[in-house]
Structure 1
């Protein structure tokens, strides 16, 4: 074993929710999203974050919460709650075809290892801060973008 080896967990990479779909399975990420659906039967939540503002459709991601469900307060899982998520990309989305023939991306999937309520977050300030962080510290930007 190398002298420099460590048993510390791999750090997460700050990303915007829409960037998760571009990352390889197994990538550890941290992002902010708003709960729009809670699927209690499958222990997962659907998050959205309309950033960039002109993006359509609104980016979404299914977050599997089985590992953290017992330690998560029920108010954190309320529809409309903005939450911080740290987790691992499970699958990248493929296009699905609607009855109209239109092809749209299926939501990305992520295994959460930690979520917490973002509180009274100012979304615009968060977006600007993350953009600036990625600009000034390129090593924090997700790879593959």
Structure 2
């Protein structure tokens, strides 16, 4: 019995280490929404000792399902999508699902992802 490919839970900062085509799930804070290209620019300042990582998330195929508040600057959202490599500089993800992270305990999330990564 086959089903959809499972996504890899990663921190936004780890996206740059993912191979193109990798299906990922991550959390990010909306830094900017570019209407013309339907691109969300998400950031997550983790680890705090480094500059925040920015990911460009193409949400064009999700526009009918995204709620307005999920595009607001400062909103924390979950993303499932595929890592892309483009000629442009930066991290790019083609989103297949986007949803509100709700009232997230960011430290608990970061710790849980780190422990999962350590476990392999």
Greater Rg over alpha carbons, structure: 1
Which residue in the other structure is 1:109 paired with?
92
State whether structure 2 residue 36 is matched by structure 1 residue 41. Answer: yes
**Structure number with higher helix proportion:** 2
| Aligned-residue RMSD, C-alpha | 1.5
- Following superposition, the deviation at residue 107 of structure 1 comes to 2.2
State whether structure 2 residue 70 is matched by structure 1 residue 87. Answer: no
Deviation per CA, 1:11-56: give whole Å up to 9, x if none: 0000010111111111000000000000011001000001111112
Quote the Cα distance in structure 2 between the aligned partners of 1:51 and 1:9.
29
Q: Which runs of 5+ in 1 are unaligned?
A: 95-105, 139-145
SS in 2 for 1:85: strand
Q: TM-score, normalised by structure 2?
A: 0.93
SS in 2 for 1:67: helix
Quote the Cα distance in structure 2 between the aligned partners of 1:19 and 1:135.
13
Structure 1 residue runs of 4 or more that deviate by more than 6 Å after TM superposition: none
Q: Which runs of 5+ in 2 are unaligned?
A: none
Quote the Cα distance in structure 2 between the aligned partners of 1:124 and 1:115.
21
Q: How many residues align?
A: 120
Instruction: Select the residue among 47, 50, 56 that pairs with 1:55.
Output: 50
SS in 1 for 2:107: helix
